[in-house]
Amino acid sequence: MAGTRSPHVKLPPFQLLLDRHSGELFRFLSASVGPVDAEDAFQETFLSALRAYPKLRDASNLRAWLFQIAHRKALDTHRARGRNPIPVEQVPEVAVGAGGEAEPALWRAVRRLPDKQRTAVFLRFAADLDYAQIGEALSCSEPAARQNVRAGLATIRKGWADG
């Protein structure tokens, strides 16, 4: 048990991390893979995080780390699904962020974005991460994170204008 600990890193009890972030992680996964698969993706995220947790070398941004894992699990889900389109009915019923009502059409637009853009847009506007944190979650640089958000928004606006 003690053998796997990293020295000098003070990690909070995993339960507190879970209490703090499970809601937003679940909403993120609902937005990414749809509510039907979100449950499984959440379980996988939880287990993956728990496995890696004691070996973490840096506890300064646990939230971005959790989203990074959730992002990967969402990609796994999309990959496993292959080219099957996501049924339109699988729109999350939860309102995300402080905006009140969920907007199915907007969600569909976000869901159709390329992987990195979708996650970047969600993390920026629903989870309120800054660009540095989004970069950490996506394993890319801060400018690249900013670029992904910008590109995602442009695509959504274009779809909005066309639709």
Q: Which of 23, 36, 43, 81 binds other proteins (CB under 8 A)?
A: 43
Is residue 20 near other proteins by the rule CB under 8 A?
Answer: no
Is residue 83 near other proteins by the rule CB under 8 A?
Answer: no
CB of 145 to other proteins, least distance (A): 28
CB of 157 to other proteins, least distance (A): 42
Is residue 144 near other proteins by the rule CB under 8 A?
Answer: no
Q: Which of 54, 125, 140, 144 binds other proteins (CB under 8 A)?
A: 54
The residue written with tokens 């729109």 in the block is 91
Is residue 12 near other proteins by the rule CB under 8 A?
Answer: yes
**Integer Cα distance of 44 and 105 in angstroms:** 28
Specify the DSSP element, H or E, that contains 19: helix 14-33
CB of 7 to other proteins, least distance (A): 12
Closer to other proteins by CB, 15 or 60: give it. Answer: 15
> How many C-beta atoms surround the C-beta of residue 132 within 10 A?
14
What single letter denotes the amino acid at residue 22? S
Closer to other proteins by CB, 46 or 122: give it. Answer: 46
Exposure string for 149-161, b = 16+ CB within 10 A, e = fewer: bebbbebbeebee
Q: Which of 125, 120, 123, 122 is nearest to 146 (CA)?
A: 120
